[in-house]
Amino acid sequence: MPKIVHIISGLHTGGAETMLWRLLKGGNRQCFDPVVIALMRGGALEEEIRALGIPLYHAEMRQGRPSLRAFARIAGFLRQEKPDVVQGWMVHGNLAALSASLLVSPRPRVFWAVHHSLGSFEREKRLTAFLIRLSSSLSARAEKIVYVSEVSRRQHERLGFDADRSVMIPNGIDTDLFVPSEAHRISLREELNLSAGTLLIGVMGRFHPQKNHAGFLHAARRVIACCPEARIVFAGSGMEPGNEELVSLVRKSGLEGVVHLLGERRDMARLNAALDIAVSASSFGEALSLAVGEAMACAVPCVVTNVGDNGVLVGSTGVVVRPNDLEALAEGCLSLIRLKSSGRQTLGASARERILRNYALPMTIRRYEELYSSCSKGERS
């Protein structure tokens, strides 16, 4: 039974981290033996992975400070586990997987997973930009490079990533968990002390510059001016009242009392199903947004910026606008509000059907497992 060791920076609830957890949860444990190594401690998904009975190790790396000691720990874990495949996740995990594998004999096959698109390197942390360029020069040493979006694949290949190693596996959405639910609509409005007919606009995901929450709040001022009864929900890591930067942005936008900060939640399926409109205002970095796909699976029409493959994901089931075009973002939300409930329900039904047809989780898991199976039996590239 092939042993697959996954190496990832940490286990907070970001898109790549959630995708790894779903792959572990839904994968065939009779055919594959998974292990996880996190470079850093912390994150809500640690408990979820342990609950699956999957071994979890920590390299004890500190934020932004790679160390030889941490790589030595990873190599020691690999010698102990003797994996057939080491799967890296994102740039730090990818390089850690390759570097540590070189210290192990026999050397396991190394796979990379790329979960971001490339904008200007000026927007990246200096270390991250350096590591992306370094990855380009080392990419031929990976067995395969899994991309979750076509835009990301093309961008990385132009940067010099080995095109012969490229494999496309989009993120998968759990369509059994993320479903339409009138009960969830009612319960969230009761939780927030809102009337049953309140129109809810949701922004789901972590607090990070690429998500452009400041830009969304600027656009939201026009939306609320035209539809003052609407309310906005922020949920995700860092999206809580204790985040002084976010609270300041809300205050400066004049939307205090309109925006509800729910923080990191484990009931994201419930929150998504309660929305009337979901928004992704990201200005860079997205590849294929799990948050958008999850809202679509709940039959919620979306307004998204055309970053990564998000425009392809939404297609004609929502509104796609240029990044940083805040007037278009506001108008996109207002256009869905003008459709009234029946029009949004029609779009939402099409959105869910699009996810079921093209992005359902079992298809994604099957493609990862087929990739691992073919490479564990075949010759090295």
Q: Read off the CATH number of the domain in which 323 is found.
A: 3.40.50.2000
Reported as a single tens digit per residue, the pLDDT across 163-194 is: 999 999 999 999 999 999 999 999 999 999 99
Query: What is the pLDDT averaged over residues 141-159?
Result: 97
Reported as a single tens digit per residue, the pLDDT across 209-237 is: 999 999 999 999 999 999 999 999 999 99
pLDDT of residue 381: 45
* Rounded Cα gap, residues 321 and 305, in angstroms: 5
Residue 336's φ and ψ, nearest 5 degrees, are -75, -35
Split at pLDDT 50, 70, 90, the class of 145 is very high
pLDDT for residue 196 is more than 50: yes
The two structure tokens encoding residue 128: 């991250």
Orientation angle between helical segments 290-297 and 15-26, nearest 10 degrees:
60
- Are 198 and 63 in a shared domain? no
Split at pLDDT 50, 70, 90, the class of 44 is confident
* Rounded Cα gap, residues 313 and 213, in angstroms: 21
pLDDT of residue 62: 85
pLDDT for residue 128 is more than 90: no
Secondary structure (3-state) at 232: strand
User: Quick one: CA dihedral 152, 158, 159, 165, positive or negative?
Assistant: positive
What is the domain count for the chain? 2
64 or 208: which leads in pLDDT: 208
pLDDT of residue 252: 97
- Are 273 and 156 in a shared domain? no
Secondary structure (3-state) at 275: coil
- Are 332 and 365 in a shared domain? no
pLDDT of residue 126: 82
- Are 205 and 247 in a shared domain? yes
pLDDT of residue 321: 98
Of all helices (H) and strands (E), which one includes residue 20?
helix 15-26
- Is residue 140 a part of any domain in this protein? yes
- Is residue 286 a part of any domain in this protein? yes
* Helices and strands (H, E) in the chain, number of each type: 15, 13
- Is residue 205 a part of any domain in this protein? yes
Query: What is the pLDDT averaged over residues 319-330?
Result: 98
- Are 235 and 319 in a shared domain? yes
pLDDT for residue 377 is more than 90: no
Query: What is the pLDDT averaged over residues 119-139?
Result: 84
pTM (predicted TM-score): 0.94
CA atoms in the 13 A half-sphere facing the CB of 237: 15
pLDDT for residue 158 is more than 90: yes
40-45: Cβ within 8 A, 24+ apart: 40/9, 40/10, 41/10, 42/10, 42/11, 42/12, 43/10, 43/11, 43/12, 43/13, 43/17, 44/11, 44/12, 44/13, 44/264, 44/266, 45/11, 45/12, 45/13, 45/17, 45/18, 45/20, 45/21
- Are 236 and 331 in a shared domain? yes
- Are 342 and 373 in a shared domain? no
- Are 317 and 258 in a shared domain? yes
- Is residue 177 a part of any domain in this protein? no
The domain in which residue 35 lies consists of 3-172+361-377
Query: What is the pLDDT averaged over residues 305-324?
Result: 97
Query: What is the pLDDT averaged over residues 271-277?
Result: 98
pLDDT, mean over the chain? 94
pLDDT for residue 1 is more than 90: no
Cβ atoms within 10 A of the Cβ of 138, count? 16
* Rounded Cα gap, residues 354 and 255, in angstroms: 34
- Is residue 127 a part of any domain in this protein? yes
pLDDT of residue 66: 75
Split at pLDDT 50, 70, 90, the class of 121 is low
- Are 84 and 141 in a shared domain? yes
- Are 132 and 101 in a shared domain? yes
pLDDT of residue 378: 47
- Are 226 and 142 in a shared domain? no
pLDDT for residue 379 is more than 50: no
Alpha helices in 169-289 (DSSP H): 182-191, 213-226, 244-253, 268-273
Reported as a single tens digit per residue, the pLDDT across 335-345 is: 999 999 999 99
Query: What is the pLDDT averaged over residues 13-26?
Result: 94
- CA 102 from chain center: how many Å? 29
pLDDT of residue 120: 65
- Are 139 and 187 in a shared domain? no
Give the residue among 73, 67, 97, 68 at the shortest CA–CA distance from 5: 97
pLDDT for residue 313 is more than 60: yes
